[in-house]
Amino acid sequence: MRIAVFCSSSPTIDSKFIDLAFELGSGIARSGAELVSGGGHISAMGAISRGARSVGGRTIGIIPQKLVDIEFADHESDELIVVDSMRTRKAKIEDLSDAFITLPGGLGTLEELFEIWVGRYLKFHDKPVIILDPYGIYQPLHALVEHLENENFVKPGMRDLLHWATSVEEAVAVAHGK
């Protein structure tokens, strides 16, 4: 079982989000799953991998060469797959992973979430898609999606394909299909 995590690489976010990422990484590893990440070593992205490795978990990082060149790569990953582009990175993450958890993040994180969620809706995969949001960062997004559904821009049932979790334990359990 491999669980991908989409999260922030911003060095300016509050430390509570770094701590959450570390906790999620260790929770994924303790569940027996491998972690698949964007392969960076800073911010939440680095913390998630450090968390997994802190309890003996295996980490797989997937990163474009351009980010390796600017010293962004997590060279401590058990497996670091270097690809040519962000599009290739996302495709490889999707192929390798059995579930997807999204942590609070910015535009890149949202873009990854939306792509994997729409892919599930269109039946390109049937893997769990989870948002772990104990701090309510995504509450405006939750309300927006509901509003878009009410206005018939989001089809009925699409919202139900996304699980909103508030604890690491809940997110990991849903990822495992529990």
Give the pLDDT band (50/70/90) at residue 174.
very high
pLDDT over 90 at 20, yes or no: yes
Q: So what's the pLDDT on residue 2?
A: 98
**Contact indicator for 36, 1 with CB cutoff of 8 Å:** no
Judge residue 101's burial from the number of C-beta atoms within 10 Å of its C-beta, 0-12 exposed, 13-18 middle, 19 or more buried: buried
Return the pLDDT at 70: 86
pLDDT of residue 36: 98
pLDDT greater than 90 at residue 15: yes
Q: What does the pLDDT read at residue 22?
A: 98
Provide the angle, in degrees to the nearest 10, between the axes of the packed helices 168-175 and 15-30.
40
Number of domain units in the chain: 1
Q: What is the pLDDT of residue 156?
A: 85
DSSP β-bridge partners for residue 105: none
Q: Is the pLDDT of residue 164 over 90?
A: yes
Looking at residue 29, its pLDDT comes to 98
Q: Domain residues for 120?
A: 2-175
**pLDDT on residue 54:** 98
Q: How far apart are CA 20 and CA 4, in angstroms?
A: 15
**CATH number for the domain that contains residue 67:** 3.40.50.450
Q: How many angstroms separate the CA atoms of 73 and 71, rounded? A: 6
Over range 38-49, report the average pLDDT.
Answer: 95
pTM, 2 dp = 0.96
88-139 residue pLDDT tens? 999 999 999 999 999 999 999 999 999 999 999 999 999 999 999 999 999 9
